[in-house]
Amino acid sequence: MEELMQYVWQHRLWPTGDMRTVDGRQVQVIDPGLINRDSGPDFFNAKIRIGGEMWSGNVEIHVRASDWRRHNHHLDMAYDSVILHVVGIDDLAIRRANGETIPQLHMPCAPDLTSRIKKLIDNPHDELACAREISGIPAIYLTDWLSSLAYQRLYSKVERIQDLLRRFNNDWEEVCYITFARALGFGINGDPLQRLAMSLPLRFMRKHSDSLTSMEALLFGQAGFLDSAPKDDPYTRLLIEEYAFLSNKFSLRQPQPLGWKMSRMRPLNFPHRRIAMLAAVMEGGFRMMSDIIEAESSEDAMSIFDIPLTGYWSSRYNFGPTAGRTLPAISHTSAGIMVINVVIPLLYAYGLAYDNRSMCDLAINMLHQLPPERNSIVKLFTGSGVQCKDAFTSQALIELRHSYCETRKCLYCRLGHRMLSAKVRP
Q: What is the pLDDT of residues 394-410, one digit of tens each?
A: 999 999 999 988 887 88
What's the pLDDT at 160? 97
CB-based burial, 177-202: b 16+ in 10 Å, e otherwise: bbbbbbbbbbebbeebbbbbbbbbeb
DSSP state of 91: -
Position 425 confidence tier, pLDDT thresholds 50, 70, 90: very low
Contact between 52 and 45 (Cβ < 8 Å): no
Mean pLDDT of the chain: 91
Q: What is the pLDDT of residues 95-142, one digit of tens each?
A: 988 889 999 998 866 556 666 666 666 666 567 888 888 888 888 889
This prediction has a pTM of: 0.79
Q: How far is CA 228 from CA 220, 231, 237, 245, 279, in A?
A: 11, 8, 12, 18, 19
User: What span, in angstroms and rounded, lies between the C-alpha atoms of 208 and 204?
Assistant: 7
Phi-psi region of 85 (alpha: psi -120 to 50; beta: other; left: phi over 0): beta
Say how many C-beta atoms besides its own lie within 10 A of residue 33's C-beta: 23
Average pLDDT over residues 356-374: 97
Q: What is the pLDDT of residues 216-236, one digit of tens each?
A: 999 999 999 999 999 899 999
Q: What is the pLDDT of residues 31-71, one digit of tens each?
A: 999 999 888 999 999 999 999 899 999 999 998 999 999 99
- Sorted by where each begins, the domain ranges of the chain are 2-109, 168-369
User: What span, in angstroms and rounded, lies between the C-alpha atoms of 267 and 317?
Assistant: 6
What's the pLDDT at 414? 86
For the cut 70, the answer to whether the pLDDT of residue 330 exceeds it is yes
What's the pLDDT at 15? 66
What's the pLDDT at 257? 86
CA angle in degrees (0–180, nearest 5) for 152-156-162: 135
28, β-bridge pairs: 49
| Least-confidence region, from 135-139, 187-191, 329-333, 419-423 | 419-423
For the cut 90, the answer to whether the pLDDT of residue 367 exceeds it is yes
User: What span, in angstroms and rounded, lies between the C-alpha atoms of 32 and 87?
Assistant: 15
CA angle in degrees (0–180, nearest 5) for 110-111-112: 95
Q: What is the pLDDT of residues 232-249, one digit of tens each?
A: 999 999 999 999 999 999
What's the pLDDT at 202? 95
Q: What is the pLDDT of residues 144-192, one digit of tens each?
A: 999 999 999 999 999 999 999 999 999 999 999 999 999 999 999 999 9
For the cut 70, the answer to whether the pLDDT of residue 426 exceeds it is no
Phi-psi region of 106 (alpha: psi -120 to 50; beta: other; left: phi over 0): beta
Q: What is the pLDDT of residues 245-295, one digit of tens each?
A: 999 999 999 998 899 999 888 999 999 999 999 999 999 999 999 999 999
> Residue 233: helix, strand or coil by DSSP?
coil
